[in-house]
Each structure stands twice: as structure tokens, then as C-alpha cells.
Amino acid sequence: MKSLRDFTMARVALGRSGNSLPTSALLDFQLAHAQARDAVHFPLDAKSLLAELRVFDIPCVGAETQCADRATYLRHPELGRQLSPESRKALEPLKGNFDVVFLIADGLSALAVHRHAAALLEATLARLDRGAWRIAPLVVVTQGRVAIGDEIGELLGAILSVILIGERPGLSSPDSLGVYLTWHPRSGLTDADRNCISNIHAKGLAFGVASQKLVFLMTEARRRKLSGVSLKDDSGRLLS
């Protein structure tokens, strides 16, 4: 049974102590649960993240949703999908004619954002032909949900939005990053209109593979003018 655990992070083949789990397995479970809870409440340090992102030679701005605090964010998901009036007013003058806007939002794990967002963005930009893509100012969103990319993408005049966001922590990974791509972002879209790349972290999907998938989807979305269920990730054939 030990060989089975060599191939998965899932809690299988944990052994038994009488009718219960061994103490070590129980303590590991309790630790993972505590780490997941901590990740949900871990605050995003937007100031330090913006400073870290400026090395990419893209204008960076911060924004906030209508969630005044973390408790509001967790209890009222709809407010995390809408910009605060102050942030909307600050972003309006930045509107242009852009091919893509990259956003970074804390989501349900700011820990994932601090650990992985800059590295994934670096890998993505290295694969991207910067001369062929008009990139909007990079936006770091505090208390943001996935759909905040729709409002911001529409507001900035981008035909494609790409949001890097902390995923819901699990018992095997409290710092998993997800990426959502949306063609022609605008209010009222659903998850069926987006493409998702998930499970990006040290023991999950590697930055190189994730960035390759993302650039493939970005290129195909712009070429075919669509995203979501109509756009399939065929990048695996390129990896092989």
C-alpha cells in the first residue's frame, strides 16, 4: 500500500490503530486543516506585491472590490465581483485599446498569490511575443473573485482578461493558484464563458507547463474570438 502513496497526495493507505487512524495520520490531517483555514484568512499584501511586479516593465495599479473586509468577502461573494466606486473611478482614465489585461486577485488564498503569481506571470511573459500583444496595466485586486476580471477587462477596453487567483485551499494544498481566461470580458458572463488552468503550485502543475497552456489558450482565444466551453485546450499535443 505504501507504493500507492508514492503516486498521489490523497490520503490513502494511512494505516490503522485499532478502529481509528494512527496518531501521526490524525495529526497530519489536523495540521492540513489548520493550514487551509489560515490560508483563507491570510491577508494580501498588495503594496509588496505591486513592488515585486514592477520588474516586468508593465504599469501596475491596485484596486479593491466592494468588500470592506475579509469577513464580508467570505459572506457576500457577489461583492467580490464588483469594483468599489473609488477603484472604478481610478481605473477609468486607463482605458485603451488592449489585447489583454492581466489581473492578480487574492481569491481564497492570498498565500498562493504571494508564492506563485509573480513566477507564473514571468514564465508567461517570457513565452509571449510582447510586440504582438498590447498589454493593459496590470491590476492587483484585493478581496477579488474570478468575475472581477469581467468588469475590469471591460472598463480598460481589453479584448481578453486573464486573472491569476488563489484557489480554495484543500487538505493537500493551501497555496494552489488558478488562472481564468475570458474573451470579450463584460458583466453578466458565467463560468461557461471562461477557461481555467488550476492546481498550480510546487507539488502540482509546474509554472512552465501552466504558462505554455495559458499562452496557447490566449493565442487561440484571440484567433478564434471565443473562450469557455467552445475553446478546448489542445496544448498537450504540443508538449508531447
Residue 237: other Cβ atoms inside 10 A = 6
Would you state the pLDDT for residue 238?
Answer: 52
> Quick one: pLDDT band at residue 24, thresholds 50, 70, 90?
confident
Q: What is residue 20's DSSP assignment?
A: B
Please tell me the distance from the alpha carbon of residue 115 to that of residue 203, in angstroms, as a whole number.
Answer: 13
Residue 208 has pLDDT above 60, yes or no: yes
**Cβ(108)–Cβ(166) under 8 Å?**
yes
Confidence band (pLDDT; 50, 70, 90) for 235? Answer: confident
1-10, 23-32, 149-158: least confidently modelled range: 1-10
Report pLDDT digits (tens) over 63-96.
Answer: 999 999 999 999 999 999 999 999 999 999 999 9
Does the structure show a pLDDT above 60 at 226? yes
Cβ neighbour number for residue 173 with a 10 Å cutoff:
22
* Residues 29-56: tens digit of each pLDDT: 788 788 888 889 899 999 999 999 999 9
